[in-house]
Chains A and B, each alone.
Chain A
Amino acid sequence: NAGVTQTPKFRVLKTGQSMTLLCAQDMNHEYMYWYRQDPGMGLRLIHYSVGEGTTAKGEVPDGYNVSRLKKQNFLLGLESAAPSQTSVYFCASSPIRRGVHQPQHFGDGTRLSIL
């Protein structure tokens, strides 16, 4: 039972390079989220999705794009990486709200360094 899987776990990029982070969940959850975690800042929401084909901006969306072409996958893209995007990225998912309060389930994180 994998839960939420993030790929890759680590990556070093040069400024201006592009890359895509993959999040996959096998729990049939409707909602998926991308967060970044920086020292002293807690978890900040980048983008989220409430279902296949839908995405929305979170708190810090600039410099990132996302896609949810399949229900189980949520991709986070950096078109032109900047040093300010050096961070640990977490993906999370949760089931659709139907009067039951459900926690979010997190992946193990992707540590990204931009030189």
Chain B
Amino acid sequence: ILNVEQSPQSLHVQEGDSTNFTCSFPSSNFYALHWYRWETAKSPEALFVMTLNGDEKKKGRISATLNTKEGYSYLYIKGSQPEDSATYLCACDRGSTLGRLYFGRGTQLTVWP
């Protein structure tokens, strides 16, 4: 069992606010870090897969950074919209041939209009 921590557990922001949350993971045996977006009553959808220290990825108003030396990743949402309301999951890949991921418990984001 791998300890992947996400904070905060939940977050409420107003429409237009920018927000960010954190995923921390053991830096040893690191292979990749995944971010997923999970809307209520739907299935998790992949946002980013990040591998290199200093990596930064962007998809629209959502971006993520990765620090593999200290074992954390930040997810940023610029100008939050109500449709961004979802649970954001991160998962750590330790590089086994089995493709196994270790998930955090998620950050639940609610964006109020």
Contacts and interface: CB of A to CB of B under 8 A. Distances in A.
A37 B70 CA distance: 28
B61 to A, nearest CB: 20
Contacts, number: 56
Range, interface on chain B:
20 to 34
Nearest to B9: A40
B99 interface: yes
**Is the contact region of chain B dominated by helix, strand, or loop, or is it mixed?**
loop
Contact of A104 (B31, B51, B101): B101
Range, interface on chain A:
20 to 34
Contact of B43 (A44, A90, A96): A90
A101 B32 contact: yes
28 contacts: A31-B98, A31-B99, A42-B89, A42-B103, A42-B106, A43-B91, A43-B103, A44-B103, A45-B101, A48-B98, A48-B100, A50-B97, A50-B99, A56-B98, A90-B43, A94-B99, A101-B32, A101-B49, A101-B51, A102-B99, A103-B46, A104-B34, A104-B99, A106-B44, A106-B45, A108-B42, A108-B43, A109-B43
Interface of A: 4, 31, 33, 35, 40-45, 48, 50, 56, 58-59, 90, 94, 96-97, 101-109
A97 B43 contact: no
Interface string B79-97: 0000000000101010001
A57 B44 CA distance: 22
Given A41-B105, A42-B89, A104 B46 contact: yes
A107 B43 contact: yes
Nearest to B97: A97
A91 to B, nearest CB: 9
Contacts of B104: 42
A56 to B, nearest CB: 7
